[in-house]
A and B are shown apart, each in its own frame.
Chain A
């Protein structure tokens, strides 16, 4: 079983809805990540939080808003999404921020998001 827990597993939302994805880890990791993965494609990095501060934003549209309330939790707030935003959203964590070539990421099972 993964030690990174994501909820919900599936989410269907309309373009005018506001929803949030949640991610939790209790491994004491200090870096947390959001990835977006379209079908049959590799994951694409969206955001990185290091020590609860946003350190990387890969030019993600503002309709995606990340939040890191504490070192164990990571949220992704969604508002006014488009159908092309439908994808698997993966959360990951690592022990320290990615400044070591040895640092491996632990992933959750993802939230499968469908935007209608």
Chain B
């Protein structure tokens, strides 16, 4: 079974509008971290936002916010006021605690390609 599922291979959004990129995860570990990375065509993976499993509040970083619904095991990324420079591949990732079969590595989803239209 996939640990991280991103069901949207591609998404389009109009410039200045908000967009939600979906991510669901699968773990039985109570302690884990969730990450979102952006990968433009240049190749670099850029860290955007982080949510810990024990964090009570949803994470926010500028125009990025994470809609964390623990019971549903979802960690959707919300980008507000989309810009042309937001066009990129977006990866959701999870890190479990070391032990119980996990080496604590970052596990990536398959990604969502976001295209922002002018």
Contact = CB atoms under 8 A, between A and B. Distances in A.
Interface of A: 2, 40-43, 45, 48, 56, 88, 90, 92, 98-110, 112
Interface of B: 31-33, 35, 37, 42-47, 50, 52-53, 91, 95-98, 103-106, 108-111
Contact of A104 (B47, B53, B96, B111): B47
Grouping DSSP codes into helix (H, G, I), strand (E, B) and loop, the A interface class, with mixed when no group exceeds half, is loop
B47 A2 contact: no
A109 B42 contact: yes
A110 B44 contact: yes
A40 B110 CA distance: 8
B104 to A, nearest CB: 4
A58 to B, nearest CB: 9
A92 B104 CA distance: 15
Contact of A42 (B44, B50, B91): B91
A110 B43 CA distance: 6
A7 to B, nearest CB: 13
A34 to B, nearest CB: 12
A101 B31 contact: yes
Contacts of B52: 101-102
Contacts of A102: 33, 50, 52
